[in-house]
Amino acid sequence: MKSTLLKMSKICKSYPGVKAVDDVSIDLFSGEVLGLMGENGAGKSTLIKMLSGAEIMDSGEIYINEEKVNINSPKSAQDCGVSVIYQELITMDTLSVAENIFVGQLPINKTTKLIDWKTAEKKSSDVLSLLNSKINPKSIVGTLSIYEKQIVEVAKAIHKNAKVLIMDEPTAALSEKDSKSLFEVIDKLKSQGVGIIYISHRIEEVFNITDRVSVMRDGMFIGTKTTKSAKKKEIISMMIGRELNQFFPEIKSEKKGIALKVSGLNIDGIIEDINFEVQRGEIVGLFGLVGSGCLNIARSIVGVDSIDQGDIDIDGRKVSIKDPKSSMKNKIGFIPIDRKHEGLTLDFSVKQNLSLQSLEQLGSGFIINDSIENSIAKKWVEKLEIKTPNIDVQVKNLSGGNQQKIVLGKTLETNPEILVVVEPTRGVDVGAKMDIYKMLESLCHQGVAIILVSTDVPEILSISHRVLVVSTGKIRKEFKKGEANQQDLLYEASLS
Amino acid sequence: MKSIGIKLSTTSSLFIFLGFLIAVFSITSEHFLSPYNITSLLTNISYSGIAAIVLTLIIISRGLDISIGGVIGLTTVVVATLYSQNDPLPTWLILIIGLGTGAIVGFINGWCITALDMDPIITTLGAMAITRGLAYVISDSQSILMFEDTTDYISNGTIFYIPIPIIIFILTVIIFSVLLHKSKFGRSIYAIGANELSAEFSGIAIKSKKMILYILSGVAASISGIILLGQTSVGMPQHGLGTELEVITAVLLGGAALSGGKGTIYGTVAGVLILGVLFNGLTISGVRYVHLQIFQGILLLVAVATYEIKTRNEVAR
């Protein structure tokens, strides 16, 4: 913890109209994990991009091992020993693990002048075993799990002698078990003197694994706290600039009769004999680790995954749902897991996204009625407090939280009576999270039946009235609200 | 707002370029601005312009149709063959069968692309070979003369001194700009092209929409074929050879992107006009047809390169 590995001093970066990073100074010691927190749009990503050479700073200085460096391209960042593991992994899926780790510098056999696969694979195994991983270097990366891909990326960084490793929301797509393994890897890297900048919205996690936490807000550096002596509330209020009395709203259950009944649902080899009911005004959580089949249950209710056996009854009437269109006809709304690829049309404007699911309602004939469309957009921008300069801005220019609100708005415009929500607050800042919970609360009061699929343990425990724990394709356990704590939930989910 | 700004400037820069071409050619050739040349220029572009307008929708939906030229050839052969029988069917029925030819090819293309999930380029490439081949087989590789009043009128007649092909083209432009830019159908097409998964999750019936587009494209190619047949009074399997390239060039020049979600009818109109003016102007300036093809190829590459450079700049921002 003594030597300063990285020092970023007085970094500034402006885009037309916005000061994305405003006079930020951060330092990182070797063998340290520094948490970097802030709401979406706080400037974390921009700061990281300048460190990794993806963006060039307007002013400021970067020192590595107290030596001033000039980072102006990803290559120069790499030469300085800086590596980034992005949230959206950039592995080459059609190539092998060894090829990914050695990309661009595969060893050459001196006599044949061909690639020396044996050495490449041997060295890959060595690096991987440093990370407690037994991944076969010959495996094709596309066939690996997200966690394994992450490990391959870390191995690639280690192989390139990374001294500074930046991890951007590494656990966002990981199960609790894989997250734990990742934390072990992080510990190991620490002991080897690597400095890690760890970006995450999951405050529990940040408190568990970091040594210090730096907070940014609105492009500015707010402060750094030693994790041990800091309080979660304190960090959160640094992030949002106000006291947060209560993280999760208390949502009262008002059961008003069964809205959805699922019986004997089966997808061969994925889910088996799934039975449950959801009442109007009730939030039922589905919790399971990645690969448990949780997501498939949700997707089969909205017609994305097709079921092999089983019935879905709505209001006591058997319905046939073969695609998202027919699920919408049955008044089922869906908030998919991946807002950028499944939920939104990024090139469309705020207005066009909000009205897309209700196209047929935009006027009686063929032609889109502009005033109806505008009023729909304005209604949701106001109701969900979507922060956007106007309704004609392309949604790709908005922050994650505001994008997520648009996904919610476009679905709610169809007046669903049953809502299937998957990871509604993943990668979303604290303020937007609160707004989304408030919206779920008000839907619950209006008598909407809600199915919440989430791997965020505190969230699913606090928001749902009942949690069904799914593991290896079956519902293993049901907890009523308050019956289980985080450990119980994880324990049940990890049984098979 | 930003996207509208870019769109506007792209289309208007195309029209500025068009004005520049017109200015240059009116200086290099005294005949260029003569009423006769203008009329013949516009009539010529109408023929491929109709197909280009419909192809714009397909490219926006992230598809492609390269069977256009083949369908044109096949349609001229089918119509001329039916007419040259000893006891021919009534002309209106023959024309409907002609349009049906394109519709059937479009349906098969659409079915392969939606039901079998085949790649649009490969599917319509196959259709291009099949339709062209069929045209040779049906016509026995011969030209089939056809002197008939209705087709002659469609291609050479005028209403208020305006040639009918131009009127058909203008109507196509009006109908499709309303369809694409104002209707629910048009919005779905953009949504499908920009992000098919999110369009599906938003409850848009993707397959039926795509099917309609390919059928429309086939019918549009058949209309082009019938106009060509009337202009030349001959049905032959070589008709429409290379038209798909001309049409794709015009659409891409107009700002539509093969990656889907982008493009406008006005852009395509500008693309069609630029291509037409360039060909006409170079021809009357004495440039030979074989050289024109080189220009067309260069123009296609320039159109795509411009798009790529623009996207790169957007990403870099």
pLDDT, tens only, B263-297: 999 999 999 999 999 989 988 888 888 888 888 88
Residue ranges of domains in chain A: 4-240, 258-494
Q: Do A410 and B178 touch (CB under 8 A)?
A: no
Q: Tell me which of B200, B201, B317 to substitute to probe the interface with A (most A C-beta atoms closer than 10 Å).
A: B201
Candidates A105, A132, A148, A147; CA nearest to A189 is A132
User: Are B204 and A304 an interchain contact pair (Cβ–Cβ within 8 Å)?
Assistant: no
CB atoms B202 and A410 under 8 Å? yes
Mean of pLDDT values over A423-431: 83
**B313 has a chain A CB within 8 A of its CB:** no
Residues of B in contact with A390 (CB under 8 A): 1
Distance CA B80, CA A280 (A): 66
Q: With pLDDT > 90 as the criterion, what percentage of chain B qualifies? A: 67
User: Residue B5: what residue type?
Assistant: G
CB B111 within 8 A of CB B218: no
CATH 3.40.50.300 fits A258-494, yes or no: yes
Contact B187 A357 (CB under 8 A): no
When CB atoms are compared, the residue of B179, B202, B262 closest to A357 is B202
Give the pLDDT confidence of A136-165 residue by residue, as tens digits.
989 898 888 888 888 898 888 888 888 999
Q: Does the beta-carbon distance from B182 to A304 stay under 8 Å?
A: no
Are A363 and B240 in contact, with CB atoms under 8 Å apart? no
| Pairwise CB contact (< 8 Å): B197 & A342 | yes
- As given in the structure block, the two tokens for residue A172 are 């966002």
In a mutational test of the A interface, the residue from B198, B208, B212, B259 whose CB has the highest number of chain A CBs within 10 Å is B198
Residues of A in contact with B261 (CB under 8 A): 345, 347
Task: Give the residue from chain A lying closest to B178, CA to CA.
Answer: A367
pLDDT of residue A268: 87
Asked if B205's CB is within 8 angstroms of A324's CB, the reply is no
Does the distance separating the beta carbons of A368 and B4 come in below 8 Å? no
Query: Three-class SS of residue A322?
Result: coil
What's the CA gap between B151 and B270, in Å, rounded? 28
Quick check: A343 and B187 CB within 8 A?
A: no
- Structure tokens, A110: 């001196």
Choose between A10 and B309: higher pLDDT: A10
Higher pLDDT, B106 or A56: B106
User: CA angle, corner B236, sides to B233 and B237, nearest 5?
Assistant: 155
Is there a contact between A352 and A345 (Cβ–Cβ < 8 Å)? yes
Q: Is the CB of residue B205 less than 8 Å away from at least one CB of chain A?
A: yes
**Cα dist. A136→A99, A114, A159, B36, B274 in Å?**
12, 22, 16, 74, 57
Helix (H, G, I), strand (E, B) or coil at B164: helix
Q: State the pLDDT at residue B66.
A: 96
Q: Indicate the helix (H) or strand (E) that contains A223.
A: strand A220-226
For chain B, how many residues are written?
A: 317
Task: State both tokens at A423.
Answer: 């990871």
DSSP for A395-423? GGGS-HHHHHHHHHHHHHTT--SEEEEES
Q: Among all residues of chain B, which has the CA nearest to that of A55?
A: B316
Residue A404: what pLDDT? 93
* Contact in structure between B274 and B224 (CB atoms under 8 Å): no
Size of interface A-B (CB pairs under 8 A): 79
A4-240 and A258-494: same fold? yes
CB contact under 8 A, B187 and A328: no
The structure tokens listed for A482 are: 């308050």
Q: Cβ contacts (< 8 Å) between B317 and chain A: which residues?
A: 15
In DSSP terms, A9 is beta-bridged to A61
B201 part of contact set with chain A, CB < 8 Å: yes
Domain B7-310 of CATH type 1.10.3470: yes
Among chain B residues, the shortest Cα distance to A392 is held by B1
| B199 contact residues in A (CB cutoff 8 A) | 345, 356
Give the pLDDT mean for A201-227.
Answer: 89
The CA distances from residue A438 to A249, A353, A415, in Å, are 7, 22, 17
pLDDT value at residue A78: 86
Work out the number of other CB atoms within 10 angstroms of the CB of residue A143.
9
Count of residues in chain A: 496
What is the CB-side half-sphere exposure of residue B194 using CA atoms within 13 A? 26
B20–chain A Cβ distance below 8 A for any pair:
no
Identify the pLDDT of residue B2. 39
Name which of A49, A302, A359, A415 to mutate to probe chain B: the one with the most chain B Cβ atoms within 10 A of its Cβ. A359
Per-residue pLDDT, B4? 43
B200: contact with A, CB 8 A cutoff: yes
Classify residue A141 by burial, with Cβ atoms within 10 Å: 0-12, 13-18, 19+. buried
CA angle A405, A305, A349 (to 5 degrees): 30
CA dist A38 and A198 (Å) reads 12
Q: Using alpha carbons only, give the angle A337, A340, A345 rounded to the nearest 5 degrees.
A: 120
Instruction: pLDDT band for A18, please (50, 70, 90 cuts).
Output: low
- The closest CB to that of A394, out of B3, B195, B202, belongs to B3
Tell how strand B234-235 and strand B144-145 pair up: antiparallel
Smallest CA-to-CA distance from A85 within A183, A177, A171 is with: A171
Spatial contact of B114 and B134, defined as CB atoms under 8 Å apart: no
Chain A interface includes B239 (CB < 8 A): no
Assigned token pair, A250 = 């208390």
Find chain A residues with C-beta within 8 A of B175's C-beta: none
User: Which tens digits make up the pLDDT trace of B31-68?
Assistant: 888 989 999 899 989 989 999 999 999 999 999 999 99
Cα A176 from Cα A199, distance rounded (Å): 17
Nearest to B201 among A334, A352, A360 (CB): A334
Q: How far is A328 from chain B (nearest CA, A)?
A: 7
Q: Which residues of A touch B4 (CB under 8 A)?
A: 392
Least confident of A278-282, A338-342, A488-492, B218-222: A488-492
Inter-chain touch A343–B201, beta carbons under 8 Å? yes
- Quote the minimal CA–CA distance from B206 to chain A in Å: 10
Instruction: State pLDDT tens for residues A298-356.
Output: 999 999 998 999 999 999 899 999 999 999 999 999 999 989 899 999 999 999 999 99
Helix-, strand-, coil-residue percentages of chain A, each rounded to 5: 35, 25, 40
Interchain proximity B183–A367, CB inside 8 Å = yes
The answer to whether A336 contacts B201, with C-beta atoms less than 8 Å apart, is yes
Which is nearest to A407 in space by CA: A430, A429, A386?
A: A386
In this complex, do B190 and A348 lie within 8 Å of one another by their Cβ atoms?
Answer: yes
A146-168: burial string, b at 16+ Cβ within 10 Å, e else: bbbbbbbbbbbbbbbebbbbbbb
The closest CB to that of B183, out of A341, A366, A414, belongs to A366
Does residue B202 belong to the interface with chain A, where contact is any CB pair within 8 Å?
A: yes
User: In Å, how far is B62's CA from the nearest CA of chain A?
Assistant: 14
Can you give the pLDDT at residue A1? 47
Strand A33-37, strand A195-199: pairing: parallel
Residue that is written with structure tokens 């003369």 in the block: B145
**pLDDT value of position A388:** 86
Number of Cβ atoms within 10 Å of the Cβ of A89: 15
For residue B87, what are the CA distances in angstroms to A372, B81, B91, B101, B130? 57, 12, 11, 21, 28
Fold type of domain A4-240 = Rossmann fold (3.40.50)
Query: Contact at 8 Å (CB) between A92 and A56?
Result: no
| Domain locations in chain B as residue ranges | 7-310
Chain A hits for B204, CB-CB cut-off 8 Å, are: 325, 356, 359
8 A C-beta contact, residue B237 and residue B79? no
Per-residue pLDDT tens over the stretch A64-115: 998 899 998 888 888 889 998 887 777 888 899 998 888 877 888 888 888 8
**SS3 (DSSP) at A100:** helix
Picking from B202, B262, B311 by the largest number of A CB atoms within 10 A of its own CB, the best residue to mutate is: B202
DSSP, collapsed to helix, strand or coil, labels residue A275 as strand
The torsion angle over the Cα atoms of residues B156, B159, B165 and B168, rounded to 10 degrees, is: -150
| pLDDT computed for residue B213 by the predictor | 97
Query: Does residue B182 belong to the interface with chain A, where contact is any CB pair within 8 Å?
Result: yes
B190: which chain A residues are within 8 Å (Cβ-Cβ)? Answer: 348
Cβ contacts of A368 on chain B, cutoff 8 Å: 182-184, 187
CB–CB contact A368 B187 (8 Å): yes
Whether B172 has a pLDDT exceeding 80, the answer reads: yes
Q: Residue B205: closest CA among chain A residues belongs to which residue?
A: A325
Q: Which tokens is A270 given?
A: 């994925």
Nearest CA in chain A to B194: A345
Look up the pTM and report it. 0.77
By Cβ distance, the residue of A304, A356, A393 closest to B1 is A393
Q: Compute CA distances B232 → A382, B151, B163, B241, whole Å.
A: 62, 10, 15, 14
